[in-house]
Amino acid sequence: MTQTHQPLRIDIISDVVCPWCIVGYSQLKQALDATGTAHEIHWHPFELNPEMPAEGQNLGEHIAEKYGSTREQSLENRERLAKLGAGLGFEFNFTDDMRMYNTFNTHQLIHWADTQNLGHELKQAMFAAYFTEQRDLSDIDVLADIASKVGLDAAEAKAVLEDQRYAEDVRKLESFWVQQGIRGVPAIVFEGKHLVTGAQGTENYTSILKQLTGAGADA
């Protein structure tokens, strides 16, 4: 008997300055492509550092303060991420003067982009802007330029951030996911009920997708 499946709903809670979020998504994408799974992805906001001031902080100093990591541990982690990224088609360019930023504006812009069906594209552009191009995500002009690269109007993007028109909506979404128990990202929810946390690897995501869709099962 032929089965017809609705696209698999995938909600991803993440932050654009979270390296494991882009790694996890890239692994999931490989699994989705390999299995040919029909799907729809919905991105949701999460701030790793909501108290971060607008000007940000040196990334190395931030990691040392937040996690107690030594410089050697930080460099090892950067090297590991760079290798993982290369295998997934994503380029990490870490430098000693890289900064951690407050990302509330990025989430507002992605929320706006989503109303124009370009939220997914802008999310990917934000990951690349931060990790590959080392752009200043605290600068509204920079964010507007990133938005323009995916087909959004730069002037409108700047206006969205200047008047903070989506601030309340984003705060509500952030609060909702925290209330659902999300404390770290990436957090991926399949079909609104199956939560998978962290970057699980392409093989594990492939297995999860097969279980959820029944792929490979006898017809």
Flag whether 219 is in a domain: no
Pairing of strands 8-14, 39-45: parallel
Q: pLDDT tens digits, the chain, 219 residues: what are they?
A: 334 468 999 999 999 999 999 999 999 999 999 999 999 999 999 999 999 998 899 999 999 999 998 999 999 999 999 999 999 999 999 999 999 999 999 999 999 999 999 999 999 999 999 999 999 999 999 999 999 999 999 999 999 999 999 999 999 999 999 999 999 999 999 999 999 999 999 999 999 999 998 865 433
Flag whether 218 is in a domain: no
Tokens 């919905």 locate to 42
> How many angstroms separate the first and last alpha carbons of the chain?
6
Flag whether 214 is in a domain: no
Q: Say which CATH number the domain at 59 has.
A: 3.40.30.10
Flag whether 138 is in a domain: yes
Flag whether 54 is in a domain: yes
Please tell me the distance from the alpha carbon of residue 66 to that of residue 71, in angstroms, as a whole number: 13
8 Å CB contact between 40 and 120: no
Q: Which domain holds residue 27?
A: 8-209
Flag whether 44 is in a domain: yes
Flag whether 217 is in a domain: no
* Number of domain units in the chain: 1
Whole-number pLDDT of residue 55: 83
* Residue type for position 17: V
Flag whether 216 is in a domain: no
